[in-house]
Amino acid sequence: RNPRALPVLSRPSAMSFALAAASSSVATFTARRGVQAAHRTTPAARRAGSVTAMSSSVAAPAGSVNLLTDGDKKPLVDSVETFIFDCDGVIWKGDSLIEGVPETIAMLRGLGKRLIFVTNNSTKSRAGYLKKFLDLGLEITADEVFSSSFAAAAYLDSINFPKDKKVYVVGETGILEELDGVGISYLGGEADADKKVTLSGSELMHHDPNVGAVIVGFDRNFNYYKTQYATLCIRENPGCLFIATNTDAVTHLTAAQEWAGNGAMVGAIKGSTKQEPIVVGKPAPFMLDYIASKFDIRKDQICMVGDRLDTDILFGKDGGLRTLLVLSGVTDEATLRSPDNTIHPDFYTSKIADLLSITA
């Protein structure tokens, strides 16, 4: 393992919590429509035993599409104690802050709300994302940041991944730093960025038989060598796990346009192995279960704010959270209102800064 330039944040003591439930929920999730659909508990069941349900002005009827009005904002904010924000398309696009984000964060903190930032982008570790927040002038603490790179390492740690096994990484530095943080050996990642397959003569690619898991995260240097190496490990190493940080179709690498997401990399490995991955990022429940346990938060006291229907909003709805879609990222209003769309947030608005106009 190679030391990283950025410090890997220490694992919270909650890593020792009963993650068996979270591990089970990940396994259940992977069996659902290739990582997304059945086995959802009903909202009523999820809220059983909790305090009085929110007023009808906050809880959206099933299937409705509700624009967040000034009259809705205060009841929504008052009804929850924690906001979970996606990052790409909600807080920033590329390396540019979205308008009004610092002011909105300050306002919510002033109201005593807990803020948590969760990203499916695995290119950075939690330490890397904390540095990005600070570089953008946002006062965020280490405990408020969660990434899918962290989730992948935390998942392996939660199942007591054997210390004599290695992980093959299709991905970037974020995954490597998080694996360092839990003491798991790895190969691949950036070291395989320039490797090529010549397919000359009777070429045979050898692979390490001690690889017990393959993690596939977003990789700007994805290549055929990595595809073949990952395929060999998953297909030929007994019990080798196939873990995806996420299956996002597109991502915001720059403010100028959308770029092909980790779903492209995961799709290639799915195609060659004919296996479905264990998904640890949104909308899978692993990160939500981890966060709720770490901070001792009731899920019905959380509002998920995101720009994607099939990850952020589904993550919230499956978890029994309030949900707010912002149109500052991937999803536009036409997509939201399309009769083909079956995922409906409680409310939608243009950007999180719209909360600044809360009325008394």
Q: Can you give the pTM of this predicted structure?
A: 0.81
Written as six digits, the tokens of 32 are 């659902």
Is-cis flag, bond preceding 209, omega within 30?
Answer: no
Q: Give 136 or 258, the one with higher predicted confidence.
A: 136
Return the closest-CA partner of residue 319 out of 292, 346, 347.
292
The pLDDT value given to residue 23? 46
Distance CA 137, CA 89 (A): 17
The answer, yes or no, to whether residue 216 has pLDDT greater than 80, is yes
Model confidence at 227, in pLDDT bands (50, 70, 90)?
very high
The pLDDT value given to residue 38? 35
Scored b (16 or more CB within 10 A) or e, 99-130 reads ebbeebbebbeeeebbbbbbbbbbbbbbbbbb
Model confidence at 33, in pLDDT bands (50, 70, 90)?
very low
Averaged confidence pLDDT in the chain:
86
Residues recognised as catalytic: 81
Range 242-252 average pLDDT: 92
* Helix/strand/coil for 157: helix
Q: Give 262 or 47, the one with higher predicted confidence.
A: 262
The answer, yes or no, to whether residue 249 has pLDDT greater than 80, is yes
Q: How many CB atoms lie within 10 A of CB 288?
A: 26
For 83, counting Cβ atoms within 10 Å of its Cβ (0-12 exposed, 13-18 middle, 19+ buried), the class is buried
Return the closest-CA partner of residue 309 out of 249, 236, 360.
249
The pLDDT value given to residue 258? 84
Distance CA 194, CA 202 (A): 22
Asked whether the beta carbons of 38 and 32 are under 8 A apart, the reply is yes
Cβ-proximal residues to 205 (8 Å cutoff; 6+ apart), any chain: 197, 225, 228, 229, 232
Asked whether the beta carbons of 168 and 206 are under 8 A apart, the reply is no
DSSP sequence for 177-233: HHHHHTT-EEEEGGGGTT------TT------TTEEEEEE---TT--HHHHHHHHHH
For residue 115, the Cα-to-chain-centroid distance in whole angstroms is: 16
The answer, yes or no, to whether residue 20 has pLDDT greater than 70, is no
The answer, yes or no, to whether residue 355 has pLDDT greater than 70, is yes
Cβ-proximal residues to 342 (8 Å cutoff; 6+ apart), any chain: none
Q: Give 25 or 78, the one with higher predicted confidence.
A: 78
The answer, yes or no, to whether residue 64 has pLDDT greater than 90, is no
Return the closest-CA partner of residue 148 out of 24, 261, 299.
261
Return the closest-CA partner of residue 82 out of 50, 47, 113.
113
Return the closest-CA partner of residue 262 out of 184, 172, 327, 197.
172
Range 168-176 average pLDDT: 98
Please, how many CA atoms are within 13 Å of residue 26, restricted to the half-sphere of its CB? 29
Residue-wise pLDDT tens digits, 120-168: 999 999 999 999 999 999 999 999 999 999 999 999 999 999 999 999 9
Helix/strand/coil (H/E/C) assignment for every residue in 294-347? HHCCCHHHEEEEECCHHHHHHHHHHHCCEEEEECCCCCCHHHHHCCCCCCCCCE
Distance CA 351, CA 344 (A): 17
Sheet holding 322-326, edge to edge: 145-147, 114-119, 82-85, 302-306, 322-326, 347-349
